[in-house]
Chains A and B, each alone.
Chain A
Amino acid sequence: MSEPIKLEKTKNSPEIILDKGASIFKIAGRSIVEDPKEFYTSVYNWIENYIKAPLKETNFVFDLEYFNSSSARQIMEIIMLLEKIPDTGNKVKVDWLYEEGDEMSKERGDEIKLVSKLDFEIKEYPSEDF
């Protein structure tokens, strides 16, 4: 089993937790890195390896307040990898979280849902300001 990936969030990059043992798969925060391809390489490789022997149920959480368009490409790459999980007879689901009132994050989620083949749920959570 691959070692878990745990990346702290920075001003430009999201928090990432990929932990098969704990069944946590999460990308949260903002992703505005200029070279997302490089940034997401380790993530991509980890998932590529993971989908060979995934858990019975994989619940992948995206909680992105903001991402640039080149990160959108990389997020899509990750989603397309996850789309291979059902072929192994296991289940996969994406939870796309957005803060109440953040229409942009919701719309971006709707759009990715539209082009993905995954079980994809868009969920609002209450705004922190209240």
Chain B
Amino acid sequence: MTTNTIYQFYRLLEEDAISFSYRGSFSNNVLTMATQLFKDNVEERHEKLRNKLSFLMIESFQNISRYADKEEDISLYENSEFFMTRNIGDTFYIISANLIDNEKIPMVREKLEQVNTLEKSELNKLYREVLTNKHINEQGGAGLGFIEMVRKTKGQLPFDFVTIDNKQSMFFMQIELRNPKEDDGLPSVSLSDAKQIQALVAQEKILMMHKGDYSEDAIGPMLRMVEENMQNVSLKIHKKIFHFLVEILQNISKHSYALKGKHEGIFQIGYENKNFHIGTGNFILNSEIKKFKDFLDMLNSKTVDELNALYRKYLREGKTTKSGGAGLGLIDLARETIGKLNYEFKKINDIYSFYSLTVKF
């Protein structure tokens, strides 16, 4: 993950009001928190969709564990399962990707092609048939999930299988949930977009990514989600990740330039070469860049001992800025990160730029 990675993702997700993706081993915790995140953060005009969205997220998520073929002890590898929910205009997209044994592909394909071509009444009929069928297949799903997805969205389920080797493929599927009361006139985002995002997420070894509004209220659920998912790492690492996240996310909400009233930002956690990487991106006024850059450069020029001394000086003396941070947060990041604070400012227009920052530990 580099500062440029963050910008690249920002561009890919530019139209997303909220998006969240997760890659790695799947637990119900992730699911609970991801659904909560959207429940708390979808705009009011989409309120009626909330329950349906949660339902579909759960179906999609469980579909990953139902059809996924994997070894039990999963650490992160190239073809780890991937899950994403994004809101663009008046549409929500739920994307899943998981490994599947090639021999199962015809069965899954057949089920999906069937539900994608049936009329509503036929779908209902099929649903009842499968529900009462005693010959439920060994995965326990019998395609009920797919039928439900189509019934709830009144649309089709785009899907694809990308061959990995002669044993396995990556199975991609996308659910599209439109707000029937609103029409933004935007074309649907195709499955190939999702595939592109998944490939980049895998390449950059990203575990979790979020794009959205980073006002104070929006940070809470995000932090709790990360916290919930850190239960299996040691308390020491857990605390560090949490600490970095608080500082770096609050940094966005305090210092970012608000576009249309939103402190839009993106954040990513990755795991690479046994280090956790955290990256953020947000807008900043061009007029503030120099002050920021000077401060970051000053911090990067110092040794850890000097940074500690600086932190302690600030701790007693203050220099509290209007937002109360006194620069302590950045000093803290600088002394804890391995190496330097990596940052980049990309000019967007005459008013503001895109500021990305990565740390690792």
Binding site for B on A (CB under 8 A): 11-12, 32, 34-37, 66, 68-70, 72-74, 76-77, 80, 99, 101-105, 111-112, 114-115
Judge whether A70 and B224 touch: CB under 8 Å. Answer: no
Residues 304-328 (chain B) with a chain A CB within 8 angstroms: 308, 311-312, 314-316, 318, 320, 323-326, 328
Q: How many interface contacts (CB-CB < 8 Å) are there between A and B?
A: 77
| Contact of A35 with B315 in the complex, beta carbons under 8 Å | no
Q: A101-B236, A104-B236 are in contact. Are A70 and B324 (CB under 8 A)?
A: yes
Q: How far is the CA of A103 from the CA of B326 in the complex (A)?
A: 24
Q: Which chain A residues lie closer than 8 Å to B239 at the CB level?
A: 66, 102-105
Residues in A whose Cβ lies below 8 Å from that of B318: 73, 77
In Å, the complex CA distance between A80 and B316 comes to 8
Known: A12-B220, A70-B323, A105-B239. 8 other contacts (CB 8 A): A69-B325, A72-B315, A73-B325, A76-B316, A80-B316, A104-B236, A112-B315, A115-B315
Task: Please give, as numbers and ranges, the residues of chain B lying within 8 Å of A115 by CB-CB distance.
Answer: 312, 315-316
Chain B residues near A (Cβ < 8 Å): 216, 220, 223-224, 234-236, 239-240, 242-243, 246-247, 250, 253-254, 308, 311-312, 314-316, 318, 320, 323-326, 328-329, 331-332
**A70 with B325: CB separation less than 8 A:** yes
Q: A36 vs B242: C-alpha distance in the bound complex, in angstroms?
A: 18
Known contacts: A37-B320, A102-B235, A103-B236. The answer to whether A69 contacts B332 by CB under 8 A is: yes
CB distance from B256 to the nearest CB of A (A): 13
Give the shortest distance, in Å, between B309 (CB) and chain A (any CB).
10
- Whether A104 touches B240, Cβ cut-off 8 Å, given contacts A69-B328, A72-B328, is yes
Residues of B within 8 A of A74 (CB): 324
Whether the pair A32, B328 counts as a contact (CB closer than 8 A) is: no
Residues of B within 8 Å of A76, CB to CB, are: 315-316
How distant is A106 from chain B, measured CB to nearest CB, in Å?
10
Instruction: Please give the distance in Å from A100's CB to the nearest CB on chain B.
Output: 9
B332 to A: closest C-beta gap in Å: 5
B242 to chain A, nearest CB (A): 6
Of the A-B pairs whose beta carbons lie under 8 Å apart in the complex, a sample of 30, sorted by A's number, is: A11-B220, A32-B223, A32-B250, A34-B250, A34-B254, A36-B324, A66-B246, A68-B246, A68-B247, A68-B329, A69-B325, A69-B328, A69-B329, A70-B250, A70-B325, A70-B326, A72-B328, A73-B315, A73-B318, A73-B320, A73-B328, A76-B315, A76-B316, A99-B235, A102-B235, A103-B239, A104-B236, A104-B239, A104-B243, A114-B312
Closest chain-B Cβ to A77's Cβ sits at a distance in Å of 8
Is B235 in contact with A101, judged by CB distance below 8 angstroms? yes
Q: In whole angstroms, what is the CA distance A69 to B249 when docked? A: 12
Residues of B within 8 A of A73 (CB): 314-315, 318, 320, 324-326, 328
A75 to B320, CA, bound (A): 13
- Residues from chain B with a CB closer than 8 A to the CB of A12 are 220
Task: Please name the 4 residue pairs, one residue from A and one from B, whose CB atoms are nearest each other, closest first.
Answer: A69-B328, A104-B239, A69-B329, A37-B324
Which of B223, B236, B246, B320: most chain A Cβ within 10 A?
Answer: B246
With A101-B235, A101-B236: A35-B324 Cβ-Cβ less than 8 Å: yes
Q: Give Cα A31–Cα B312 distance, bound, in whole angstroms.
A: 19
Residues of B within 8 A of A66 (CB): 239, 242-243, 246
Contacts of B323 in A (CB 8 A): 35, 70
A35 CA to B237 CA, complexed, in Å: 26
Shortest CB-to-CB span from A73 to chain B, Å, is: 6
In the complex formed, the residue of A with least CB distance to B315 is A76
By the criterion CB–CB under 8 Å, are B246 and A32 in contact? Answer: yes
CB-defined contacts of A111 to chain B, threshold 8 Å: 308, 311-312, 315
Distance A99 CA – B235 CA, assembled complex (angstroms): 10
